[in-house]
Amino acid sequence: MGSVLIIAEKPDQGRTLASPFKTKKQQGYIEILPNDIFVDGAYVTWAIGHLCQLKSPEKYHEEWKKWSLDTLPMIPERFQYEISPSKYKQFQIVKKLLERQEVTDIIHAGDAGREGELIIRNILLLTGVKKPMKRLWISSLTKKAIEEGFRHLLEESKTRHLFYEAYTRACADWVVGMNASRVYSILLKQKGMSDVFSAGRVQTPTLALIVKREKEIESFQSEPFWEVIATFHLEGKTYEGKWQQNNESRIKDEQLAKKIAAFCEKKPSEVKGVVTERKEFQPPMLFNLSSLQATANKRFKFSPKKTLDVLQNLYQKGIVSYPRTLYTKKDMDIIDRIGEKLNYNGL
345 pLDDT more than 50: no
Backbone angles phi, psi at 9, to 5 degrees: -85, -30
pLDDT of 343 higher than 90: no
Instruction: Quote the distance between the C-alpha of residue 25 and its chain's center.
Output: 32
Mean pLDDT on 287-316: 90
45 and 97 Cβ atoms separated by less than 8 Å:
yes
State yes or no: pLDDT of 272 exceeds 80: yes
In sequence order, which residues have a C-beta less than 8 Å from that of residue 281 and are 6 or more positions away? none
Domains of the chain (ranges; CATH) run 3-164 (3.40.50.140), 225-277 (no CATH), 289-341 (no CATH)
Mean predicted lDDT score pLDDT of the chain: 91
Strands 133-135 and 103-109: parallel
pLDDT surpasses 70 at 332: no
How far apart are the C-alpha atoms of 96 and 198, rounded to whole Å? Answer: 38
Cα angle 191, 193, 199 (rounded to 5 degrees) comes to 100
pTM over 0.85: no
324 has a pLDDT exceeding 60: yes
pLDDT confidence band for 338 (50 / 70 / 90) = low
Q: Can you spell out the DSSP letters for 218-230?
A: HH------B--EE
Mean pLDDT of 46-64: 96
Distance CA(177)–CA(174), nearest Å, equals 5
Strand partners, 6: 44, 107
Q: What is the DSSP letter of 34?
A: P
Angle at 130 between CA 126 and CA 133, to 5 degrees: 105
**Residue 106 reports pLDDT greater than 60:** yes
**Interatomic CA distance for residues 55 and 327, integer angstroms:** 33
76 has a pLDDT exceeding 90? yes
Which residues are annotated as catalytic?
Answer: 322
